[in-house]
Structure 1
């Protein structure tokens, strides 16, 4: 009886709420508290992208002025430079490009730059990758000292060693040749360190497995390491191309005539030759810049991947 009375509520007892009804539905509350997607203005994205767009416009304007001026008559390049007309190609023609080819020997200068840059890029990929791999994988006496010297040389500007290097090239009678513009730039301490940093991140187990299968050091490097390191190869190739294509100080010091003169020095000479025609100068600069843009657009994905994996910061 006591048990029945305990479980049998009296007539005056208040009804207890259902446990299921009393349970709070967290999903429903979260749905009411969180606004549906698409509602509200994306202020966070706006604050992020507006400065980037303004910075992009700031850098694009000079390039756009150069390209438009390359198609304008010479008398309108500077006359329209103070307003919006500078970015509209009034009276567009290809006369400036033909004048640049005839007056500045653009074809010869372009071939010189292609030859010099190609040799530096291809030779530098071989030399710098082998040096970086040796520092990352091989153990020999003086390795840490050599690595410290590479890092030290990477932060020394080229202008600091240009004059001593010029005296050395004059001593061995290399001035006014192609090799004086190629050989001193094959080994680059900055690129060696990039390869070194990338090779450190490759697991050693891959090389050990290839060594168990009977592969030698050359086979391991060419068949195992190089395919994995394609991103850093692309990054070094693009950076090396940029440095070599736009180099001006060293060609001015070591070249005397127009036979081995590259585009950068050719443009510096061309813009001082009378009569000074700004339309021709803009056309010359446009044709000099196009190979860099094409190279970067073609290898953009590999370049970004290589920069992210090597830890290179801008």
Structure 2
């Protein structure tokens, strides 16, 4: 098995595109840091007095505002007051702010590149006509397929490692080391929440991993089901791009139909749990993980059963 995995890893890294994806991540981090620094500029040391002045202005407007506008002004006052009460400077940006705002956002590209590599992993063998050469070796079909799955998983982890290392080094270069336990205010569907920015970052990364694994597994299944590399990659990318839209629609439907919450799409992005405890009234992280586990077993079973019985004649 180890020999098969090494062989598959060599196949992946022998392609120029695999190195291009890694280079894009590094270039994206550097470019993102330059833009981030330019947008936020220098820290305003007089932020507290200015924020208090803004609160006073809003309170004056609130007193004279019509009834239907009072809630809007009150929300703005509450948001600004929370920064003052927690003594959190909203203009101060350190390395961990960059890691949360930019590096976490760039994990999307890891998912996208993983989908592309994974969707083409098996289908390319059929498209190129190399599947027969692979299967005549003294290895069971399931071990060959498993080695391909593990190799793509390892490649995705390599990309994630490159992103994290490059992101941290660039963030320190542009913004300094920063306090890991520094407090920050994040926005959730329930309002503002005070978090430690370092802990928030690693929590988001931890929740990203199951999501990456599930999207990769779906793409790998598509790669096994379709002989056409273009079709497998196209459907894999479509699933990635439309999953968030479908997830939002299903969350809306779940308010009326209980069965909707058991569909996979609302649970594909677990990073929302880094900001809130629930995605629906009674759907928490353990429930989402349980639902994903069921789908994972189904997808992997279908993938290996289909490949075991598939006609490899070309």
TM-score bucket of the superposed structures, by smaller chain: under 0.3
Q: For CA contacts below 8 A with separation 6 or more, give which structure has more relative contact order.
A: 1
Rg (Cα) greater in structure: 1
TM (norm. structure 2) is 0.25
TM (norm. structure 1) is 0.25
